[in-house]
Chain A
Amino acid sequence: MFFKRANRDKGRDGKAGSPVSFEAAAPAAVPQPTPQPGPVSVAVADADVAPEVGLPEIVVAASHPPLPASDLRWRVDPKSLGFRSTAELEPSSGLIGQERAMKAIAFGASVKARDFNIFVLGPPASGKSTAVRAYLEAEARGRPEPSEWVYVNSFKTPGKPRALALPPGRGVALAKAMVGAVEELMGSLPAVFDSEEYQARRRAIDEEFRAAQEDALDALSRRAGDQGVAVLRTPMGFAMAPMLDGKVVKPEVFGALPESMRRDVEAKIEALQKELEEVLSRAPRLEKARRAKVTALNGELARRVARAAFDDIEAANADLPDVVGYLAAAEADLVAHASLFLGEGGEDGQPVVAATVGAAHDPRFRRYMVNVMAAREPDGDGTPVIEEANPTLGNLIGRVEHIAQMGALLTDFLLIKPGALHRANGGALLLDARKLLQQPFAWEALKRALKAGEIRIDSPLDQMGLAATQSLEPEPIPLDVKVVLFGDREIYYLLAAYDPDFRRLFKVQADFDDSVDRTAGSERDYARLVAAIVAKHALKPVDAAGVARLVEEGARLAADREKLSIEIGRLADIVREADHWAGVAGRAETGAADVERAISEHIERASRLADRMRETIGRGIVLVDVEGEKVGQINGLSVIQLGDTAFGRPSRITARVRMGPGRVTDIEREVELGGALHSKGVMILWGFLAGRYAETVPLALSASLVFEQSYGGVDGDSASAAELCAILSALADLPIRQGLAVTGSVNQWGEMQAIGGVNEKIEGFFDVCRAKGLTGRQGVVIPRSNVQHLMLRSDVVAAVEAGSFAVHAVATIDAAFEILTGVGAGARGRDGLFPPGTANRRVEDRLTLFAERARRFAVKSPEGADKGLEGGVRGPEGGDRGSA
């Protein structure tokens, strides 16, 4: 089709000021026979500029017709899938098309090196964790099980528990055997100590010492009695008094005795007191000797019994020297503390703990127990694959717990709790990188463990010197684990950039793609994935039409019709919601209508802001024109991402130009609302202007650009094409159709480049146009390279089919400008000039005019001219004066 622009002075209908209407761009199959006349209002009022005399009628080749509806959305034919419903399909067991990532996983898992740990990059909810786990578990099967690590008491240094390695299953067996041995000793030791032999020997010792003391006192009493002195007990000891007939003599009777007799009695009492002193002062020594003899006796008997109890355990662990050493130490300690088993030590001989408490829970015998850090099956098959969902420091490297007793926090080796590293030791540990990094000290502790190759349980409070409780220093356990971190790319690159340890310790990168290529095979796999979701959540089968719609949505989520998103979490959400709606509708199978409803309901639930945005435009609060033409004003498109939904929003972009020092004032940037990418786009379009139009003259132009009524940040370069068109419109004084919106970035050669969110942007403008009323002259101009990403909503496609909306795909800014203005862009001829009347010629002429003015201004006032060309003219007033 052709756009025809009549000379503004020679319109066929004689009407002036009517630009080419958008009807000319309607999707007609044949060229429009009737040209749309109307002058282009070139605002050149300067007499110095050569007037456009005899502008020829320009015929613009319409090489960019709107896209047919079939290009706007790729549809899957349910029949092409080859099944009736997912009930006929074998559910998918893994990922789709992630060969490179899985190859990396396989490599990382097979490399026997401490620093070849794996970082799995990829979008969340893409099923990568499940797939990696399934792979690692399959790999782990058949491998020899790793050692079982236990902590035991260190009898010499109780604060530093010992770590022992045992073959799988034997740590648990040792723990049980120790409980059994102690329980056996709880019965056999008291029995031995209750035996006639022991009791007789014990009584002999007790009697020997008691008799020694009592007999000495008795003997002293008798001697005293023989000498007429009574020995009486007082609360604090003993006292002596003269005695007659077995009774203490009354003082008055004693006083009546002759003095010599009294002195004699006193002397006797004094001598006996000295003897008594001697007898009583011997008591502590005698008690000490008695205790030593009892201890020796206890040890002798306990050793015999303990040996019998430990014999079997030693025999079972004879091949483990460390365990044998531990058993010997335990036996020696047990013999030395045999009294623990006798229930003695409490007041009046009451047992410290009731006899009903088992050995494993009896505080007296904790020292002989075994703390198994990670139990392995004796006949188990394979290395462990552990996933820690809450990777706190304690959950990762283990912790030492405390119990409160009498107001103090106490601990022992049985309160050492294993962490995920203990459980995964010898196998693989799967962690979420974000969760790990959010936990205080956890990331550093993991790195320390991996670097040192050992699990050392350190309390951060101890490290900071803040702990005031009894603590332990458990012996470190050698670590052999493959750590697999899962995270998004941002985390990976941040760690790689800022943590030098990261690259040293995580040398394998398994990069899971967000999407897979769309092929017949991948469509089939996608259907099997849907079948797996159905099976996992026990949903109704999805029929072929429903699957087809899901595959289409997969392409939409991938924002690429040639790809399918593997965001399994979102896909599962849609399938489950569709299942719900199918249930509401009373269907036995989920169909396309249910899937469609699930998608639309999801959008609907999150569309409050989008509705408010359209409302403000509809009510004229936010100014967006969707009809008419205006110079220097264009509709740009942006995407607003809120949570898991995004919507497009049109924004009015305006440009004003004037003579100036050669700069574009990006107002967004000036007020610090524009991001770096946006500024880059503006600079690129300036490069385009300079390169195309200022080959022979200086670019004596100042332009200002702004997103009208934008009060938030603006970033990205997808508006650069629109901004460039606005500037060109202002320079050429050609009005832009307001029924069109433009998105796309532009390079310095004027080529249109692909942008993101193209579907949302088109739909956003469509929604606004529909709200204001579709006229058939509305549409969106997009880069041609974005056509492959189009997966537009059905209502948009239907509108295009009905001719009430259009999507234009262009490769160059010239094409876009032609569509927007209806004026041909024009190419330089042999004379190096653009043809007269073309848009480019008008732009060039305007810029030449600015340059000439600047030159003349400089001649009249050299200083001022210099300033003018090099930045003297900055304010908009100066520019406006210059272009007026």
Chain B
Amino acid sequence: MIAHVAEAGEGRGRVVVRLDPARQPSRVVLAAAVRVAEAFQSEIESLVVADRQLYELAMFPFAAQVTHAGRVAPLSAEKLDREIATAASVLVRAVREAAQRAGVTVHVRFMREEPVLAVARTCAELGPWNVVALAEPLAAGDAAALRRLFVSVTGATGVIVAGPAARDTAGPVIVAIEEIDRLPPMLRAAERLAAAGRTETRLLLVSDDPPTLEWMEDQARLVLGDASKVRLEPSLPVRDAAELAERLRRLAGGFLIAQFGGLVVPAGDAARPILAALRCPLFLVR
């Protein structure tokens, strides 16, 4: 991930913020994206993706759209263009405003493409060490799309998302470790994010097996050493996703770094509790 890249001095990637003109962006995600870019001295690539299928749809003679207010209106390619252009300018402005406060450079690109493909292509162009941010709050039904993103976008080391309850980025950076081998790089990323946010780092070890958890804790203490400022949260075996979600919520973090597809953020619909509960953004790594 880009933490590694930054340290290795390799050509670093960008924080690719995917903007969907059909959905409102989450300010929490934008703030998180800026924070990551700031922490890793990176830049932001605003990627506005107009779903290509919409234009194909607009070519049908019976093409129509049902508005959010529940009214049916005809749909044409020209109208779609206008609406997408308007929405895109609003989205880009929001990104620029968020980035401007932190002094982060913003690049903009528009693509008429299937959204996941657009992200994959962009990341491939920009290099292997990108972070993708999905600007819109993640709904429960988006879990499948998230999984597809991790599968399809090989040029990204992680994805920033936020649930519908996300409110704030103020608070400590929580790093949830499920595999102890992941601890050093994830911890480094967490510490850099904490430094950028002038906050502290807390480490939570996650496992449903008590002996494993105990072993992980020993290992973690070795890694951290006595002088570490990282606070190790009390470890408890995970019984179910909802309980874990509530526990993470009560930690009142400003950022949660976790592994995608594990206990914290399962790959499928099981991610629903954590997405619904968390008030902070998530930085999901492979």
Which positions in A face B, CB cutoff 8 Å?
194, 196, 199-200, 203, 206-207, 210, 214, 218, 230, 232-242, 247-251, 254, 266, 269-270, 273, 276-281, 283, 347-350
Which A residues are CB-close (under 8 A) to B246?
196, 199-200
Residue of A at shortest CB range from B22? A233
Which A residues are CB-close (under 8 A) to B69?
237, 280-281
Which B residues are CB-close (under 8 A) to A250?
56
Which A residues are CB-close (under 8 A) to B168?
349-350
Q: Determine if B164 and A230 form an interchain contact, defined as CB atoms under 8 angstroms apart.
A: no
Residue of A at shortest CB range from B67? A237
Which B residues are CB-close (under 8 A) to A234?
22, 54, 65, 75, 80, 83
Q: Can you sample 6 A-B contacts with CB below 8 Å?
A: A236-B65, A237-B65, A280-B70, A283-B68, A348-B167, A350-B167
Contact of B141 among A194, A214, A242, A283 (CB under 8 A): A214
Q: Determine if A241 and B53 form an interchain contact, defined as CB atoms under 8 angstroms apart.
A: yes
Which B residues are CB-close (under 8 A) to A242?
60
7 closest A-B pairs by CB: A281-B70, A233-B22, A241-B57, A349-B167, A237-B67, A280-B70, A248-B53
Residue of A at shortest CB range from B83? A235
Min CB distance B83 to A, Å, is 4
* Contact (A239, B20) CB under 8 Å given A214-B141, A234-B75: no
Q: Mark B1-35, 1 if CB is under 8 A from A, else 0.
A: 00000000000000000001111001110000000
A277 to B246, CA, bound (A): 36
Min CB distance B85 to A, Å, is 9
4 extra A-B contacts, CB within 8 A, seeds A206-B165, A234-B75: A230-B53, A236-B83, A248-B56, A348-B27
Q: Mark B55-75, 1 if CB is under 8 A from A, else 0.
A: 011111011111111111101
Q: Determine if A238 and B65 form an interchain contact, defined as CB atoms under 8 angstroms apart.
A: yes
A392 to B228, CA, bound (A): 66
Does B86 belong to the interface (CB within 8 Å)? yes
Min CB distance B197 to A, Å, is 16
Q: Determine if A236 and B68 form an interchain contact, defined as CB atoms under 8 angstroms apart.
A: yes
Does B51 belong to the interface (CB within 8 Å)? yes
Which B residues are CB-close (under 8 A) to A203?
276-277
Residue of A at shortest CB range from B87? A235
Residue of A at shortest CB range from B249? A199
Q: Determine if A277 and B140 form an interchain contact, defined as CB atoms under 8 angstroms apart.
A: no
* Contact (A232, B57) CB under 8 Å given A239-B64, A273-B64, A348-B27: yes
Residue of A at shortest CB range from B167? A349
Min CB distance B49 to A, Å, is 12
Min CB distance A442 to B, Å, is 52
Which B residues are CB-close (under 8 A) to A266?
62
Contact of A239 among B28, B54, B139, B141 (CB under 8 A): B54
Task: Give the tally of cross-chain contacts (CB within 8 A).
Answer: 109
A279 to B68, CA, bound (A): 10
Does B126 belong to the interface (CB within 8 Å)? no
A250 to B53, CA, bound (A): 9
Does B120 belong to the interface (CB within 8 Å)? no
A200 to B277, CA, bound (A): 9
Which A residues are CB-close (under 8 A) to B270?
none
Residue of A at shortest CB range from B63? A239
* Contact (A235, B22) CB under 8 Å given A214-B139, A266-B62, A273-B64: yes
Which positions in B face A, CB cutoff 8 Å?
20-23, 26-28, 51, 53-54, 56-60, 62-73, 75, 80, 83-84, 86-87, 139-141, 164-165, 167-168, 246, 249-250, 276-277
Q: Residue among A206, A232, A347 with the most chain B CB within 10 A?
A: A232
Residue of B at shortest CB range from A252? B59
Which A residues are CB-close (under 8 A) to B66?
237-239, 273, 276-277, 280
Which A residues are CB-close (under 8 A) to B140?
214
Which A residues are CB-close (under 8 A) to B86?
235
Residue of B at shortest CB range from A211? B140
Min CB distance A583 to B, Å, is 64
A349 to B168, CA, bound (A): 8
Residue of A at shortest CB range from B50? A235
Contact of B28 among A233, A236, A247, A348 (CB under 8 A): A348
Min CB distance B130 to A, Å, is 25
Which B residues are CB-close (under 8 A) to A350?
167-168
Min CB distance B80 to A, Å, is 7
* Contact (A210, B164) CB under 8 Å given A232-B57, A251-B60: yes
Contact of B65 among A210, A239, A247 (CB under 8 A): A239
Contact of A232 among B54, B62, B67, B165 (CB under 8 A): B54
Residue of B at shortest CB range from A279? B70
* Contact (A218, B141) CB under 8 Å given A239-B57, A277-B71, A348-B28: yes
Q: Determine if A248 and B164 form an interchain contact, defined as CB atoms under 8 angstroms apart.
A: no
A146 to B52, CA, bound (A): 80
Q: Determine if B60 and A241 form an interchain contact, defined as CB atoms under 8 angstroms apart.
A: yes
Which B residues are CB-close (under 8 A) to A207?
276
Q: Determine if B57 and A248 form an interchain contact, defined as CB atoms under 8 angstroms apart.
A: yes
Residue of B at shortest CB range from A218? B141
A796 to B197, CA, bound (A): 92
Which A residues are CB-close (under 8 A) to B80?
234
Residue of A at shortest CB range from B246? A196
Min CB distance B60 to A, Å, is 6
A233 to B28, CA, bound (A): 22
A558 to B83, CA, bound (A): 96
A94 to B84, CA, bound (A): 89
A242 to B53, CA, bound (A): 11
Residue of B at shortest CB range from A242? B60
Which A residues are CB-close (under 8 A) to B72?
273, 277
Q: Determine if B20 and A233 form an interchain contact, defined as CB atoms under 8 angstroms apart.
A: yes
Q: Determine if A235 and B63 form an interchain contact, defined as CB atoms under 8 angstroms apart.
A: no
Residue of A at shortest CB range from B72? A273
Residue of A at shortest CB range from B26? A348
Residue of A at shortest CB range from B53? A248
Residue of B at shortest CB range from A248? B53
Which B residues are CB-close (under 8 A) to A214?
139-141
A469 to B198, CA, bound (A): 44
Which A residues are CB-close (under 8 A) to B87?
235
Min CB distance A90 to B, Å, is 70
A747 to B89, CA, bound (A): 104
Q: Determine if B60 and A278 form an interchain contact, defined as CB atoms under 8 angstroms apart.
A: no
Q: Determine if A251 and B27 form an interchain contact, defined as CB atoms under 8 angstroms apart.
A: no
A200 to B26, CA, bound (A): 23
Residue of B at shortest CB range from A234? B65
A249 to B167, CA, bound (A): 39
Q: Determine if A237 and B68 form an interchain contact, defined as CB atoms under 8 angstroms apart.
A: yes
Q: Residue among A214, A234, A283, A347 with the most chain B CB within 10 A?
A: A234
Q: Determine if B68 and A247 form an interchain contact, defined as CB atoms under 8 angstroms apart.
A: no
Which B residues are CB-close (under 8 A) to A277?
66, 70-72
Which A residues are CB-close (under 8 A) to B167?
348-350
Q: Determine if A232 and B51 form an interchain contact, defined as CB atoms under 8 angstroms apart.
A: yes
Residue of B at shortest CB range from A277? B70
Q: Determine if B139 and A232 form an interchain contact, defined as CB atoms under 8 angstroms apart.
A: no
Q: Residue among A210, A238, A241, A277 with the most chain B CB within 10 A?
A: A241
Residue of B at shortest CB range from A344? B167
A233 to B277, CA, bound (A): 25
* Contact (A254, B54) CB under 8 Å given A234-B22, A237-B65, A239-B66: no
Q: Determine if B23 and A233 form an interchain contact, defined as CB atoms under 8 angstroms apart.
A: yes
Which A residues are CB-close (under 8 A) to B28?
348
Which B residues are CB-close (under 8 A) to A206?
165, 276
Q: Determine if B63 and A241 form an interchain contact, defined as CB atoms under 8 angstroms apart.
A: yes
Which A residues are CB-close (under 8 A) to B141?
214, 218
Residue of A at shortest CB range from B59? A251
Q: Residue among A233, A239, A250, A251 with the most chain B CB within 10 A?
A: A239
Which B residues are CB-close (under 8 A) to A273?
64, 66, 72
Which B residues are CB-close (under 8 A) to A240?
57, 64
Residue of A at shortest CB range from B62? A266
Residue of B at shortest CB range from A253? B56
Residue of B at shortest CB range from A217? B141
Min CB distance A780 to B, Å, is 92
Contact of A241 among B23, B26, B56 (CB under 8 A): B56
Min CB distance A288 to B, Å, is 15
Residue of B at shortest CB range from A347? B27
